[in-house]
């Protein structure tokens, strides 16, 4: 593919940059640079309103086909939009699970009725979604989900527990992977994929506090929760394929444009290194240069990878992308701590563990989780080994 931008792309960049400058102001100024919610400055109402402003202007689902309400923009322009979003310091998107995971899944696997029913709410920014996959005993081994859905007329009755559900506290809908036939073997043949409204008595969420002191994710409990049979994507017991399709979107398009945010972080670390003298240290200079080079490689690889997304199979370049960026970012966090030196210490002077964390410490702490979610490092390596390199399969339980 041609990675250069043409004149039309550059015009589009100006349009995107102007839109951000014109809109991320006034009532939304408070959201500039706002990271993931889950702390005292949640600003959920402002973030919801921001999603609607983006939706109204047609900036949600820009890569989806026009036939389902998207803009079918070429990949380069999608990257440009996300870059300009990051350059303007746009807030963490509470709509990203809906836009990046639910919408493409529904567009790819849903019926026409489901597309009509769910996509407008996502693309207008009105409906916020969360992902109900993981459970206490089903993370990497997703097929082991114990949450049960049992048919009751035109509805499913759902009982069970999900965990690490990002954004569950402020979501309107969740898509869950659940068991509809616990006896069948292999287990993934008894799994269904359901869209479930969060606002009902049978669904409760309990926030989990993270080491960064935020709580962006929750435990989610289903106690006789209900959803219509019409809200099942794919066949009953045929949800495995759909759930894998969602993951291929998660490992791909939702990371688009992230590199510009990474580049901004690296720039701040470089600035700190220049200020405190760390940049004069030959070893740290080398590490900073290395980080920059790897970031450039990441950008080109991401664009090559995203060129081939079709919601079904991952191609080999896509398989490397998640592993690459997650480890690069984790290493960046470690490098930031080295650059800060003793100033990276989290303990208060009086030795209490009641700490405040700065931006660099947050990168260091949060980036550990990036090597876990959306497929841990080990799982990514298994995928590369088995599916890209054709090595023998890992023994399965």
Ligand X SMILES: Cc1cc2nc3c(=O)[nH]c(=O)nc-3n(C[C@H](O)[C@H](O)[C@H](O)COP(=O)(O)OP(=O)(O)OC[C@H]3O[C@@H](n4cnc5c(N)ncnc54)[C@H](O)[C@@H]3O)c2cc1C
Residues lying near ligand X in the complex (CB under 6 A):
130-134, 139-140, 164-166, 217, 369, 372-373, 376, 378-379, 382, 394
The DSSP bridge partners found for residue 159 are 148
With the C-alpha atoms ordered 320, 323, 329, 333, is the resulting torsion angle positive or negative? negative
Radius of gyration in angstroms for the set of CA atoms belonging to the chain, rounded to a whole number: 22
Burial class from Cβ neighbours inside 10 Å (0-12, 13-18, 19+) for residue 248 reads buried
Asked whether the beta carbons of 61 and 96 are under 8 A apart, the reply is no
**Residue nearest to ligand X according to CB distances in the complex:** 139
Active-site positions read 250
> Which of left, alpha, beta for 33 (phi over 0: left; psi -120 to 50: alpha)?
left
Cβ-based nearer residue to ligand X, 124 or 134: 134
Cβ-based nearer residue to ligand X, 165 or 259: 165
Q: How far apart are CA 151 and CA 389, in angstroms?
A: 42
> Minimal distance in Å, beta carbon 346 to ligand X?
19
> Minimal distance in Å, beta carbon 58 to ligand X?
26
Q: How far apart are CA 140 and CA 227, in angstroms?
A: 26
> Minimal distance in Å, beta carbon 135 to ligand X?
8
One DSSP character per residue, 314-383 reads PPHHHHHHHHHHHHHHHHHHHHHHHHHGGGG--S-TTS-S-----HHHHHHHHHHHHTTTTS-HHHHHHH
> Minimal distance in Å, beta carbon 138 to ligand X?
7
The HSE-up count of residue 134 (CA atoms within 13 Å, CB side) is 18
> Minimal distance in Å, beta carbon 210 to ligand X?
7
Q: Which residue has the tokens 């023994």?
A: 395
The candidate with the shortest Cα–Cα distance to 291, out of 322, 267, 258, is 267
């Amino acid at each position: 593919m041609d990675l250069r931008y043409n004149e039309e792309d550059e015009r589009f960049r100006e349009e995107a940059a102007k839109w951000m400058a014109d809109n991320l102001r006034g009532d939304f100024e408070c959201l500039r640079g706002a990271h993931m919610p889950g702390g005292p400055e949640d600003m959920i109402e402002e973030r919801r309103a921001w999603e609607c402003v983006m939706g109204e202007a047609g900036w949600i689902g820009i890569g989806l086909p026009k036939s389902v309400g998207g803009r079918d923009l070429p990949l380069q322009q999608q990257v440009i939009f996300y870059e300009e979003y990051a350059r303007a310091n746009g807030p963490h998107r509470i709509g990203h699970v809906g836009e990046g995971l639910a919408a493409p899944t529904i567009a790819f696997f849903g019926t026409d009725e489901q597309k009509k029913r769910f996509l407008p709410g996502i693309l207008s920014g009105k409906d916020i979604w969360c992902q109900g996959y993981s459970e206490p005993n089903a993370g990497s081994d997703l097929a082991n989900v114990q949450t049960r859905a049992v048919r009751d007329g035109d509805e499913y009755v759902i009982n069970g527990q999900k965990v690490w559900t990002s954004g569950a506290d402020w979501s309107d809908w969740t898509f869950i992977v659940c068991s509809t036939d616990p006896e069948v073997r292999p287990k993934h043949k008894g799994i269904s994929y359901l869209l479930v409204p969060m606002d009902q008595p049978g669904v409760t969420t309990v926030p989990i506090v993270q080491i960064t002191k935020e709580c962006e994710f929750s435990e989610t409990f289903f106690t006789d929760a209900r959803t219509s049979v019409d809200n099942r994507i794919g066949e009953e017991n045929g949800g495995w394929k759909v759930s894998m399709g969602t993951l291929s979107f998660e490992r791909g398009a939702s990371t688009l444009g992230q590199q510009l945010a990474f580049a901004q972080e690296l720039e701040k670390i470089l600035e700190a290194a220049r200020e405190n003298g760390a940049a004069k240290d030959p070893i740290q200079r080398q590490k900073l240069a290395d980080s920059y080079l790897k970031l450039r490689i990441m950008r080109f690889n991401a664009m090559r990878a995203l060129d081939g997304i079709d919601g079904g199979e991952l191609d080999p370049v896509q398989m490397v992308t998640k592993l690459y960026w997650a480890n690069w970012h984790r290493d960046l966090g470690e490098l930031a701590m080295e650059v800060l030196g003793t100033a990276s210490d989290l303990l208060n002077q009086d030795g209490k563990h009641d700490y405040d964390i700065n931006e660099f410490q947050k990168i260091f702490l949060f980036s550990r989780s990036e090597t876990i979610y959306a497929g841990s490092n080990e799982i990514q390596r298994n995928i590369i080994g088995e599916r890209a390199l054709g090595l023998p399969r890992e023994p399965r339980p």
